[in-house]
Structure 1
């Protein structure tokens, strides 16, 4: 991981290899910024105040080895990024103005993608995680994680049924609680539909009635127009025999005859004569139709009254029911269709009873699944108690015992009917008390570590980060915490921020955050310690100084932890007994010595 301009850290590189990596340093040196940087890579909310004073932006870069056929690689490709030979590059940039950007696999991506990916890569445990462990919901998650597939399958089915049951219950309650309003709405719709049905408007009827009304109201005007037109066409008043000599049809016919007679001398005139004949026929047809129209025109006051009355009824319907009055009868018919469908929804017709029946059937399924979950959780709780008790014994709490109490209620929650409570009896004879009230900070740290060790086989996350989870403990308990972290690191990449030499002595790799202060600018860098540097740092952590006694104690811690590693794992695990040596007399600057070629897949490098 590479950090620039974050907090007191100007520029630091952290080589994170396999096994147990310890990060130490004086108070205020910037150890917390290492965890903050990891949090940024995990997509956590960014705080512009974390940008180093005077700089424009902070940048955190992480290189992580991941399987190319795994979920992380697949999500990276979905986001447009690439995994290069099993290595994934994650970058988070935080500007001093508060703007945050993320890059995944070389491509810009939403910060949320970092959060999705990190769920498969890194788990950070610190004091806030201990607080979460105090909550009943988190304790239930711990038990379910330990139970594994036995609970996971039934829980997934339960949650699917539960979602459907909640939807049906809400719909049933809505129908039941709004029955009066629904009845009033249904009655108004029925009255409206009855009125529309009584009037029985027909498509385009309002247009046809408007035209008929105009015709009946202006009969005399129409008669005069028809008479004038007929006389112009035929030379006779409307109703004549159509043989007048002054009409348009007679004149066109005269033109046709003249052109036809001269056509013998020029074929072009014969064509004109033919066209004149066509016009003559059209005029004759038009005159006939005009005459027929004139005969159909009759003043009918009674019919006019009927039409006007019908138009008034339709206008009333349009005003009351059409969403857009300009649509006329079409808008009324559209409303009627929608109202009929809505009325079907509002009419109960046993709908409330149907919803109640379906809801009760789903509730029966839920209770059966919840009962199976309870049985599985109780069985897992018994095993978890035994496993955690064994780990607590190794963590210098031999008389402590954990009780995992599974309480089954009646309410159907999203996780079943169970609530889980972790109870701790810190010593023999003590009554078990809830972790939220009965555990000190040091005890809670050890309980959480014990749970992590027990859950290590079920947690697919390849990298675990512990941020001062050893706070509040010391002496033998601190040694046991270091020992358990080392054992956890056999199968998982473990990074620990600690202030305890007893824990740091078990590290495969020891990094220290070094602070320099020239009176104006504070900077921090990270160095990897060789043997001599580790002794010096452990002595400082033990006594605050590098006295001979402190150094002797530090050497004793290192030798003891190495001897344990060799004894427990044999020749297959010798990195702790033969660390890489730098120049004698001080730490090796990070970046000058190469990391081991042994890089486990899915781990931060």
Structure 2
């Protein structure tokens, strides 16, 4: 639950601390005092969009901070740790601090457990920590999508097989949608696919006619360089050969002869020294190696004579053919071959359209049959859940001074979608014998408030969050209905923390703690003034005065105070 909320320079609130506790807390105050800033602060902590206009005039920034205590193992703690938060643990639970700062230029920063975090993390945490309800939520309640979501949330908890049924339906729906989209693409783009197939066929025919080999372009390039320098290569190889073996017995000694002479000299004394004998063997090996190299050079020079200008012309012609492919399809022959393999695969796909269309037709038809069965199963489970939810909410409405009212949940066939094949409509039958009408058309603001509260009370039993915040959801309600709303809020507060911003004394009387927002004007020397608000927890005497103000606008009136005390006494007796 939320232990404390600290607000600085938000709206008309300069700096205030809102102490909260378990049970039901109410926030009241004069119109314009800044009561809704409390809800705005919580909204910022839940990741709502930051509004620079909410920053107090003259301030550089506004901030909201909350301290929460949560039981060990709560999902919010795990997510906060993932975000790098520092969490203080104690016996049986942990303390988590959330903070949000909004600058006057609209920039916003979030902190989770003392560490900077993306705003989205606050949103994720908020989904498991707080449920906020206000007039905008009554508008949301009129939305068919929100009504379906509320029913499905109830069904998921009330019927354990519902989540599995929805998951299976959605998996088949996605498969059906993907197959149908591919089928539609094949049928509408057949002309474009035919042109692509013709282009790929021509390209592959050109590549196949040249029949390139891996790395052939690099090999031919090296051969062309060699053939272009035949004379230089011949002179170098014959000169090296001559230096090793002087076959024309010239005046200069050749390398083989010199090595042989060295070997013979050492062999004459080899018997006298083992070291020289070993050296003679090594020189003999050098002689053999030089003779081998000389033979290789002779063979190399002879091969050059067979690779004349004719071979060079062949190489250049072949390089020209490969160059055409490289310019058209890829930077190298190896990449041309890779492109050709991919093109063949694509061509097979394009030329198999008729077979693919037939296969997809069968797949779509089979998926439709399966979807119909799965959708019917989802509808059946929804109807069961709708009947149960309707009865429970109707019972709550009876307790909220709407004794003859009934929530009717209508499920009608709809076009198949990701959420099933149902249209879900919440209707309110306010009186016996009257026709049920959609909430958006037939329900007043006060009735919507009570329907929403009844729904929340029922849903809280199956999917609770630690804290509920209601922002003047009792608008348009008075008299006995207001008393009953206070009673139901108090009952809800027995299981979760509830914070209510209200203007009704009948509701405020049920509070476990009453928080007052007051405003005042601070004069300035220029003659103007600044409106500020303060937030404080009321004691018993102050609470009587505030209820008297809410009742009659006269907190000092003895009659109003007597009535306030009576309200408090009645609320204590009525709270179960």
Task: Give me the TM-score of the superposition, normalised by structure 1.
Answer: 0.82
Distance 1:345 1:260, change over 3 A: same
State the 1:374 CA deviation: 1.2
**Which shows bigger deviation, 381-390 or 463-472?**
381-390
Residue 176 (str. 1) matches residue 187 (str. 2): yes
Q: Is the 8 A contact 1:102 1:114 kept in 2?
A: yes
Q: Which residue among 455, 459, 463 is the counterpart of 1:455?
A: 459
Aligned-partner Cα distance in 1 for 2:186–2:98: 52
What residue in structure 1 maps to residue 254 of structure 2? 248
Aligned-partner Cα distance in 1 for 2:500–2:139: 18
Distance 1:495 1:221, change over 3 A: closer
What residue in structure 1 maps to residue 378 of structure 2? 373
Aligned-partner Cα distance in 2 for 1:487–1:294: 107
What residue in structure 2 maps to residue 141 of structure 1? 149
State the 1:422 CA deviation: 1.5
What residue in structure 2 maps to residue 516 of structure 1? 520
Residue 104 (str. 1) matches residue 112 (str. 2): yes
Aligned-partner Cα distance in 1 for 2:282–2:426: 108
State the 1:251 CA deviation: 6.7
What residue in structure 2 maps to residue 351 of structure 1? 356
Distance 1:298 1:479, change over 3 A: closer
Deviations 1:449-503 (A, max 9, x none): 2222232312321221111011112122212221222222222222111001111
State the 1:371 CA deviation: 0.7
Structure 2: tracts of 5 or more residues without a match: 524-528
Q: Is the 8 A contact 2:45 2:100 kept in 1?
A: no
Distance 1:83 1:168, change over 3 A: farther
State the 1:187 CA deviation: 2.6
Q: Is the 8 A contact 1:226 1:294 kept in 2?
A: yes
Aligned-partner Cα distance in 1 for 2:82–2:221: 63
Q: Is the 8 A contact 2:267 2:280 kept in 1?
A: no
What residue in structure 2 maps to residue 477 of structure 1? 481
Deviations 1:494-536 (A, max 9, x none): 2111001111112222221122223333332222223322221
Aligned-partner Cα distance in 2 for 1:220–1:531: 115
Q: Is the 8 A contact 1:25 1:514 kept in 2?
A: yes
What residue in structure 2 maps to residue 532 of structure 1? 541
Aligned-partner Cα distance in 1 for 2:258–2:226: 32
What residue in structure 1 maps to residue 61 of structure 2? 57
Q: Which residue among 557, 564, 572 is the counterpart of 1:554?
A: 564
Q: Which residue among 398, 403, 408 is the counterpart of 1:393?
A: 398
State the 1:218 CA deviation: 6.2
State the 1:141 CA deviation: 1.4
Distance 1:207 1:453, change over 3 A: closer
What residue in structure 1 maps to residue 11 of structure 2? 7
Distance 1:45 1:278, change over 3 A: same
State the 1:208 CA deviation: 4.2
Q: How many residue pairs are counted as aligned between the two chains? A: 556
**Which shows bigger deviation, 330-339 or 414-423?**
330-339
State the 1:272 CA deviation: 9.1
Structure-to-structure mapping, 1:104-503, within 5 angstroms = 104-147=112-155, 148-150=157-159, 151-213=162-224, 242-246=248-252, 248-249=254-255, 252=258, 256=262, 284-296=291-303, 297-298=305-306, 303-321=311-329, 323-324=330-331, 327=332, 329-348=333-352, 350-409=355-414, 411-503=415-507
Q: Which residue among 525, 541, 554 is the counterpart of 1:545?
A: 554
State the 1:427 CA deviation: 3.5
Distance 1:255 1:45, change over 3 A: same
Aligned-partner Cα distance in 1 for 2:394–2:244: 118
Task: Give me the TM-score of the superposition, normalised by structure 2.
Answer: 0.86
State the 1:288 CA deviation: 3.8
SS of the residue aligned with 1:28? Answer: coil
Q: Is the 8 A contact 1:51 1:94 kept in 2?
A: no
Aligned-partner Cα distance in 2 for 1:554–1:293: 118
What residue in structure 1 maps to residue 526 of structure 2? none
Aligned-partner Cα distance in 2 for 1:288–1:504: 112
Q: Is the 8 A contact 1:252 1:279 kept in 2?
A: no
Structure-to-structure mapping, 1:555-574, within 5 angstroms = 555-565=565-575, 569=576
Q: Is the 8 A contact 1:3 1:9 kept in 2?
A: no
Q: Is the 8 A contact 1:140 1:420 kept in 2?
A: yes
Q: Is the 8 A contact 2:260 2:284 kept in 1?
A: no
Deviations 1:20-72 (A, max 9, x none): 21111111111111111111222222223323333333332222221102222
Q: Is the 8 A contact 2:520 2:533 kept in 1?
A: yes
Aligned-partner Cα distance in 2 for 1:482–1:164: 49
What residue in structure 1 maps to residue 101 of structure 2? 94
Distance 1:174 1:253, change over 3 A: same
Q: Which residue among 22, 45, 49 is the counterpart of 1:45?
A: 49
Distance 1:492 1:257, change over 3 A: closer
Aligned-partner Cα distance in 1 for 2:124–2:421: 29
Aligned-partner Cα distance in 2 for 1:294–1:390: 108
Please tell me the root mean square deviation across aligned C-alpha atoms, in Å. 3.2
Deviations 1:247-284 (A, max 9, x none): 535873696489659979x9899999888766665555
